[in-house]
Amino acid sequence: MGRSCRCDAEATRHRVLGYLEARSFDDTLACPLSRRTLAQDLGLSKGRVRYACRTLEAEGLIICRRLFDDAGGQLGNGYDLTASGRRLLVSMRRNSP
């Protein structure tokens, strides 16, 4: 599999960001998801989802929280959109045809 172009990577990040917003309960709770679920629901590879989430976090658009059960096993990740992430989505919607 070859590398994707920069515009494909950006489109993937925007899809992931929009999906996380849609799955959010409210502004105070992390959206609990595994990367596998994210990949399956969006029709992407786990690698692309991992890269998109890391990039979105590095850009300050999401916060990733590791979620654990009472025995210490990881349940998945919780994703919070930051104010910057929400503003980006609003801007994208205004500029879409």
> What are the DSSP calls for 15-32, one per residue?
HHHHHHHHH--STTS-EE
**According to the model, what pLDDT value does residue 1 have?**
44
d(CA 68, CA 34): 12
**pLDDT digits 0-9 by tens, 28-83:** 566 778 889 999 999 999 999 999 999 999 999 999 988 888 998 887 888 889 99
Confidence (pTM): 0.82
Average per-residue pLDDT in the chain? Answer: 86
Q: What pLDDT score was predicted for residue 53?
A: 94
Of 71, 69, 73, 82, the closest CA to residue 31 belongs to 82
The whole-number pLDDT of residue 95 equals 84
Strands across the sheet with 62-68, in order? 31-33, 74-81, 62-68
